Amino acid sequence: MSIQYPNGKRYRTNQQLNKPNASIAYGGRGMSFEADIDESNQFYLMKEKAVIHKKPTPIQIVQVDYPKRSAAVIKEAYFKQASTTDYNGVYKGRYIDFEAKETKNKTSFPLQNIHLHQVNHMRTVVRQNGICFLLIRFFYTQEVYLLDAPTLISFYDNQKERKSIKKADIETYGHMVHTGYQPFVDYLRTVDELYIK
């Protein structure tokens, strides 16, 4: 049985990834965007700066094989419900909630990457005065932008005019996020500038 992630990509072991002819690029450090954010969140937690975690995706297990008691194998499972956003937590006494997406598109961010239930979730977070945004990484340039939820919602609601957000608009209305070593994606620096006065 092969395991497929929700984005359709197949799970690969470290051994498979280290093959010389593997054609997978991981942002210059051998990691995906979400892995970079996870590392950043661990750094923030270790420094007692914030408590932010990736939300688990709820699944319903349907069939399990037990060849040995210590080696149960899930054969069939389904997502219980549509997930909301990728991350949530607490920062400086404020609720924080965000989605993270990476695109290989060089000139825009396709709005099909965001789903209506996620946008509606963001609306409710904003109404409750929570900090809510989208982090976008452009794969080829490795640039990361923070687009606050009200701006994203506005673009999403106007999809009849355009099915994507131009990179030029993201550069205008979004905010560049500092990237480096520790943390990899220092999005809280940008959160401080925008939301924490």
Domain ranges of the chain: 14-194
In this predicted structure, what is the pLDDT of residue 5?
A: 52
Q: Is 99 annotated as a binding residue?
A: yes
Q: Could you tell me if 126 and 149 are in contact, meaning their C-beta atoms sit under 8 angstroms apart?
A: yes
State the Cα–Cα distance between residues 94 and 73, nearest whole angstrom.
40
Smallest CA-to-CA distance from 79 within 109, 57, 56 is with: 57
Q: Any binding-site annotation on 86?
A: yes
107 is in an annotated binding site: no
Q: How many residues does the chain have?
A: 197
Is 118 annotated in some ligand binding site?
Answer: yes
List per-residue pLDDT tens for the chain, 197 residues long. 445 555 445 555 544 444 444 333 433 433 599 999 999 999 999 999 999 999 876 666 767 777 776 777 777 766 555 678 889 999 999 999 999 999 999 999 999 999 999 999 999 999 999 999 999 999 999 999 999 999 999 999 988 878 999 999 999 999 999 998 889 999 999 999 999 87
CATH topology of domain 14-194: Trna Endonuclease; Chain: A, domain 1 (3.40.1350)
What contacts 125, CB < 8 A, 6 or more positions away? 95, 97, 132, 149
Can you give the pTM of this predicted structure? 0.74
